[in-house]
Amino acid sequence: MLWYKAWRESRSRFCLAVAVVTVYCLTVLVRARTAFPPPEAPHLPYSAFVWGELYAPFRAVAFSFIALMLGLGGLQRERGAGTAPFTLALPVGRGQLVATRVLVGLAELIGVTLIPIVMVPALSPILAHQTYPASQSVLYGALFLSWGIVWFAGGVLWSVLFRGEFTAATAAVLTPFAYMAVYGVSRGDQRYPVANPFSMMSGGLDRSVGGRMLLTEPLPWNVMLVLAIVAAALVAGTWRITARQSF
Amino acid sequence: MHDDAWVIETESLTKRYGALEAVRQLDLRVSAGRITGFLGRNGAGKSTTIKMLLGISHPTSGTGRLLGHPIDDARQCREARRHVAYVAEDKQTYAYMSVGQMIAFTRSFYDDWCMDVEARLLKQYDLPVARKVKALSKGMRTKLALLLALARRPKLLILDEPSEGLDPVSIEELLQSLVAAAAEGSAVFFSSHQISEVERIADHVCMLDRGRLVLDASLDAIRRDFRRLEVGFAHEPPHVDWPATDVGSVRSTGRLVSILAKRNVDAMIERAYGAGAVSVESSAVSLREVFLDQAAERT
């Protein structure tokens, strides 16, 4: 039943994310019927149009916010609502509470990621009278998810560090900006190009916009593994902090 | 008493919030098979103590055992919570669930859930199963929290200000439910600042003031042993070293000394006359007087 609780507490954020992403994808596909190809680039491939509308770095930033928001909630939020004593008096461990919330949130994040993966290849022929390869959707979805889980884990961590729900949400919104500020100051683009989340989520192709924007190289599994470890470390930190907190 | 008979034991249990010491060196023992009232003013440290016992809050120092399980061991504390029912001070449950969902959710965690008791309390409390918790009145929320605790046969029932927000009829039903739970074998430990409730149903009283345990006695012992001694002197009262273990408080007003004696009243009367008292009047004290006396002593 902890699953049910975690779902009920996060479902409004999840449903909002699903609605936003679904409506956005539909808008892009419907708009493609009239606005593709754009007059200023009559030879633009449809795959590049889709990339620009869905997988470009700016879109990756928006997805990062969604991932961060899905990580919020938990015991600190319950403390504000006055339900933390009830939850903590149940015969379950705090680790179990954190794990359940993380797994439900991850499932929701994957669900949100699946929307463009499914919608774009399936609806492009119907709405845009174009075709888009499903394999490309899957690959871009995997790249989005690789950093998405890190942002999500960051949101989970903020949710236990800040008591106020709005404080945690504000911290979540500021996180990508703060990260990119540090990344820019430390000349990350030159020294650690793979550490640029939005470039990686976009396939590292943002400098060749005129191309087909199709991923031809294998996914960077090593980097994705490192990101998964970073996300796991953030969740482990969350668990340790939660175990020590008094409510 | 054998160690197994204690459902709650603490040793030098302390909780600090910065400079504030909410609970100080608390040595508390609550025995099985009894109703123990945990009295104290607002902010005395009752809720903090209960939260530490349940693992909701961590002690700054000291130790404790809940049903024999150490409270500083998360796994052991979780095991203890399987057999403990708890009603928190503000009785908040999940606002987004309906009453029925809340009951089903809670039921799923406990093997000792009694469907017949659940049905009886649902009817008795007149709780609307389909209504969302957020739409319940404070009294209804309290009744739901009580149902979630009482629809089991826990070894220990811990309630933090259970009657807060209830009307007189509901308070009466609550007190009867607690007596019934105790009769069925549950130890009941409830905090309150409603002395009349404690006096009505408790067998034993623990009183906390500013984080310190200032009274730990059975109600029978309080009724039998505690006395108010009004000692009159012809002149300015002399300094008398009253035995600290026998005296709750001593207050002088003019030529009159008022003493709350906890035991050995006859010996104290003798001592008073020995010190030059011209009159000593002894009267029984109520729990209310003891409570107010302890509170006034430390103000």
Each residue of B162-189: pLDDT tens digit? 988 788 888 888 899 899 999 999 999 9
Of A66-70, A163-167, B100-104, the range with the lowest mean pLDDT is A163-167
- Average pLDDT of chain B? 91
User: Which residues 104-123 of B have a C-beta within 8 angstroms of A?
Assistant: 104-106, 108-110
| pLDDT tens-digit series, residues A63-109 | 999 999 999 999 999 998 999 999 999 999 999 999 999 999 999 99
DSSP-derived secondary structure letter, A218: P
Q: Closest Cα to residue B263, out of B285, B280, B241, B279?
A: B285
DSSP-derived secondary structure letter, B5: G
| pLDDT tens-digit series, residues B122-155 | 999 999 999 999 999 988 999 999 999 999 989 9
- Nearest residue of A to residue B17, measured between CA atoms: A246
- Nearest residue of B to residue A11, measured between CA atoms: B96
- The CA distance from B257 to the nearest CA of chain A, in Å, is 45
- Domain ranges, ordered by start, for chain B: 3-218, 226-297
What residues does B61 pair with on adjacent strands?
B14
In the predicted structure, residue B3 carries a pLDDT above the cut 70? no
CATH for B3-218 (3.30.365.10, 3.90.260.10, 3.90.850.10, 3.40.50.300): 3.40.50.300
Q: How far apart are CA A8 and CA B191, in angstroms?
A: 32
The pLDDT-based confidence of A209 (bands split at 50, 70, 90) is: very low
Count of C-beta atoms within a 10 Å radius of residue A210: 11
Contacts of B56 in chain A (CB under 8 A): 84-85, 88-89, 246-247
Cβ pair B261, B229 in contact under 8 A: yes
Q: Closest Cα to residue B283, out of B231, B248, B237?
A: B231
pTM, rounded to two decimals: 0.87
- The CA distance from B88 to the nearest CA of chain A, in Å, is 7
**Domain spanning B226-297, CATH class:** alpha beta
A81 touching chain B per CB within 8 A: yes
Determine the angle formed by the axes of helices A94-123 and A57-70, rounding to 10 degrees. Answer: 150
Which ipTM was obtained for this model? 0.87
Closest partner residue to B74 among A1, A86, A93, by Cβ? A93
Helix (H/G/I), strand (E/B), else coil: A77: helix
- The CA distance from B107 to the nearest CA of chain A, in Å, is 10
Contacts of B110 in chain A (CB under 8 A): 91
